[in-house]
């Protein structure tokens, strides 16, 4: 750019110089030749006034300091005398002589073969027989003398140097802001959108810089908007508890959220890659190509899961540009469904056993006459109906808790409720020879349904009494620590085998049905649910033959 401008300026200046100089030289030469002609004409006139001409004296006559050549010619063109050359040929064909013969006077500027140079001629009739012709060489009067070339060259060099200095200055003035713009645009291309141009002039470049900054500002606002939208969409996708995958028409991934990556065990960024390379499940790949828009699928990798998959077309205006697939993990839902059916089956089964027993003994009773046997049968019927009633009661309590019916939000001191439980259980414990120890260090109130808390403590304490042999102890400790209220119910009873520990909170789960303690298997399931309604947690520690400890942890107010 800089070189181009410099060359154009120099060429323009050089061209202008040549044109101006040429015109000046041409005009000056024209002027000089005319003046020389006039002077030669005057000299001819003066000579014509003399009768006798001193040939020696002619050598001293000069025009513009140039000695004049004189030629005397007769009317037939014969050269009578020439101040510079002897024996000249006939001159009747010379233009100036022809003019004189016609008009008394003549002039010409032409090449002289005699002197091998251009001459200015002026001729005049002296009398009827003789013509005087005066001449001087053209090159002697031309402005552009050979010996002056060096001065002209020097002037041109000086002018060119000045031109270059001024041009460089001008170029700097133009190029510097352009360079700044180029620099800034380059940085913007590389991602620095905050950079702006600093051009303070009020000329076109200043306006260009200002417009550029305005465009950059607008661009920045638009980029910010787009980035913000993008971030919002990304954070929504990231925090979604469902999977979202978008693919183009060739099933190349254009977006995928972390939930989908987790579900399908994808550990790298697969945007821009074919989805089928990373989800190899046959059912899913089939679903992608078939018409069906939603389906329940079971996958085995990375872990077994039940998924509900839906797909929808992504339409851009009128054109379909891909598909969006949403994935919902319904494994828990399926489990729950299974649990419900199992629960119904379990309930039916659990109710059926005492009922069958009651029915059987009642029918047989008709035919039993023996008082003692009748008494035994009636005892069994009584025990079984008791069990039936307990079962129904526990099922109702559980159903009530599970149905999420709004429960009381009492603020109460747990110790008060625990004391009620102890009062209720102490007789059975006493009968079994079990010592009930109670230690209460807690002063904090907890929030929740106090009746349910009563049920919770009762189930735990009853279990401890139930699953402990004679002459053992049941310890109840109540305390608070680091914002939490703790209730510990421990015993040195029969304990729970470690393989059963994870399942004891399940409904109808009994460790060993042969324990024959008459339990329903629902007590701990109820406890677990009640703890949940208090936003608390329960853990169990137990060793077979040594004892069991339940720890309930609830945040206090």
Binding site for ligand ADP (CB under 6 A): 459, 463-464, 467, 491, 493-496, 504, 509-511, 515, 519-525, 548
Q: Which residues contact 147 (CB under 8 A, 6 or more apart)?
A: none
Least Å distance between CB 536 and ligand ADP?
18
Least Å distance between CB 359 and ligand ADP?
23
Least Å distance between CB 456 and ligand ADP?
11
Contact between 453 and 425 under an 8 Å Cβ cutoff? The reply is no
Least Å distance between CB 394 and ligand ADP?
8
Cβ proximity to ligand ADP, 122 vs 548, nearer residue: 548
Cβ proximity to ligand ADP, 33 vs 504, nearer residue: 504
Contact between 303 and 220 under an 8 Å Cβ cutoff? The reply is no
DSSP 252: B
Q: Which two tokens mark 525?
A: 């399931």
Q: Which residues contact 217 (CB under 8 A, 6 or more apart)?
A: none
Query: What is the Cα Rg of the chain in Å?
Result: 63
- Using CB atoms within 10 A of its CB, is residue 415 exposed (0-12), middle (13-18) or buried (19+)? middle
Distance CA 188, CA 230 (A): 21
Partners of 324 in the β-ladder: 246, 312
Query: Which residue reads 């703890």 in tokens?
Result: 531
Residue 7's alpha-carbon distances to 165, 171, 173, in angstroms, are 13, 11, 17
Cβ proximity to ligand ADP, 125 vs 507, nearer residue: 507
Cβ proximity to ligand ADP, 183 vs 389, nearer residue: 389
Is the N-terminal amide bond of 281 cis, ω within 30° of 0?
A: no
Cβ proximity to ligand ADP, 270 vs 489, nearer residue: 489
Residue 197 CA neighbour count, 13 Å, CB half: 26
Cβ proximity to ligand ADP, 377 vs 509, nearer residue: 509
Cβ proximity to ligand ADP, 524 vs 554, nearer residue: 524
Q: Which residues contact 512 (CB under 8 A, 6 or more apart)?
A: 497, 500
Least Å distance between CB 287 and ligand ADP?
42
Cβ proximity to ligand ADP, 417 vs 496, nearer residue: 496
DSSP 27: H
Q: Which residue is nearest to ligand ADP (CB)?
A: 519
Cβ proximity to ligand ADP, 305 vs 529, nearer residue: 529
Cβ proximity to ligand ADP, 6 vs 540, nearer residue: 540
b/e string for 389-409 if b means 16 or more Cβ within 10 A? ebbeebbebbeebeeeeebee
Q: In sequence order, what DSSP letters do the residues of 265-309 get, joined into one string?
A: T--S--TTSBGGGT---HHHHHHHHSS--EEEEEE-SSS-EEEEE
Contact between 526 and 390 under an 8 Å Cβ cutoff? The reply is no
Least Å distance between CB 506 and ligand ADP?
8
Residue 331 CA neighbour count, 13 Å, CB half: 11
Residue 19 CA neighbour count, 13 Å, CB half: 6
Least Å distance between CB 294 and ligand ADP?
40
Residue 72 CA neighbour count, 13 Å, CB half: 14
Cβ proximity to ligand ADP, 258 vs 518, nearer residue: 518
Residue 100's alpha-carbon distances to 122, 135, 266, 275, in angstroms, are 9, 15, 116, 110
**Phi, psi (5° rounding) for residue 324?**
-115, 130
Cβ proximity to ligand ADP, 274 vs 502, nearer residue: 502
Distance CA 163, CA 169 (A): 10
Least Å distance between CB 376 and ligand ADP?
25
């Amino acid at each position: 750019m800089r070189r181009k401008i410099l060359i154009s300026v120099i060429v323009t200046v050089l061209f202008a110089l040549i044109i101006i100089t040429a015109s000046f030289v041409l005009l000056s030469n024209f002027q000089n030749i005319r003046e020389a002609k006039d002077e030669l004409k005057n000299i001819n006139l003066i000579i014509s006034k003399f009768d006798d001409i001193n040939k020696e004296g002619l050598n001293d006559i000069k025009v513009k300091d140039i000695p004049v050549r004189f030629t005397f010619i007769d009317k037939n063109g014969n050269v009578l005398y020439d101040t510079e050359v002897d024996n000249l040929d006939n001159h009747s064909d010379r233009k100036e002589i022809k003019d004189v013969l016609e008009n008394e006077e003549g002039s010409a500027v032409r090449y002289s073969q005699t002197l091998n140079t251009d001459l200015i001629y002026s001729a005049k009739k002296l009398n009827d027989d003789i013509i005087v012709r005066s001449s001087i060489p053209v090159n002697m009067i031309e402005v552009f003398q050979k010996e002056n070339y060096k001065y002209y060259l020097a002037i041109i060099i000086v002018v060119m140097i000045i031109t270059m200095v001024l041009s460089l200055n001008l170029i700097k003035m133009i190029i510097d802001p352009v360079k700044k713009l180029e620099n800034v645009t380059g940085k913007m291309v590389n991602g620095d959108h905050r950079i702006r141009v600093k051009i303070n002039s009020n000329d076109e470049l200043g306006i260009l810089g200002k417009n550029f900054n305005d465009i950059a500002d607008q661009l920045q606002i638009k980029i910010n908007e787009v980035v913000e939208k993008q971030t919002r969409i990304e954070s929504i996708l990231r925090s979604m508890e469902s999977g979202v995958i978008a693919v183009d028409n060739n099933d190349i991934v254009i977006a995928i959220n972390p939930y989908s990556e987790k579900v399908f065990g994808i550990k790298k960024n697969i945007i821009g890659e074919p989805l089928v390379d990373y989800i190899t499940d046959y059912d899913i790949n089939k679903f992608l190509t078939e018409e069906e828009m939603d389906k329940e699928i079971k996958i085995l990798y990375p872990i077994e899961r039940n998924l509900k998959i839906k797909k929808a077309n992504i339409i851009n205006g009128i054109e379909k540009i891909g598909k969006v697939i949403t994935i919902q993990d319904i494994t828990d839902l399926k489990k729950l469904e299974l649990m419900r059916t199992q629960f119904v089956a379990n309930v039916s089964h659990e109710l059926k056993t005492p009922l069958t027993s009651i029915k059987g003994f009642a029918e047989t009773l008709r035919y039993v006459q023996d008082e003692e046997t009748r008494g035994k049968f009636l005892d069994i019927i009584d025990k079984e109906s008791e069990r039936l009633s307990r079962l129904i009661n526990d099922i109702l309590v559980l159903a009530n808790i599970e149905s999420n019916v709004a429960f009381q939000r009492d603020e109460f001191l747990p110790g008060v409720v625990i004391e009620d439980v102890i009062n209720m259980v102490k007789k059975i414990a006493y009968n079994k020879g079990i010592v009930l120890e109670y230690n209460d260090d807690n002063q904090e109130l907890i929030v929740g349904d106090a009746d349910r808390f009563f049920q919770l403590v009762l189930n735990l304490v009853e279990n401890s009494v139930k699953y402990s042999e004679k002459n053992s102890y049941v310890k109840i400790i109540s305390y608070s620590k680091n914002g939490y209220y703790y209730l510990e119910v421990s015993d040195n009873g029969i304990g729970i085998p470690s393989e059963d520990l994870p399942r004891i909170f399940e409904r109808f789960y009994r460790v060993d049905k042969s324990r024959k303690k008459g339990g329903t298997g629902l007590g701990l399931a109820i406890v677990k649910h009640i703890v949940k309604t208090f936003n608390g947690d329960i853990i169990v520690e137990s060793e077979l033959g040594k004892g069991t400890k339940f720890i309930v942890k609830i945040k206090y107010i």
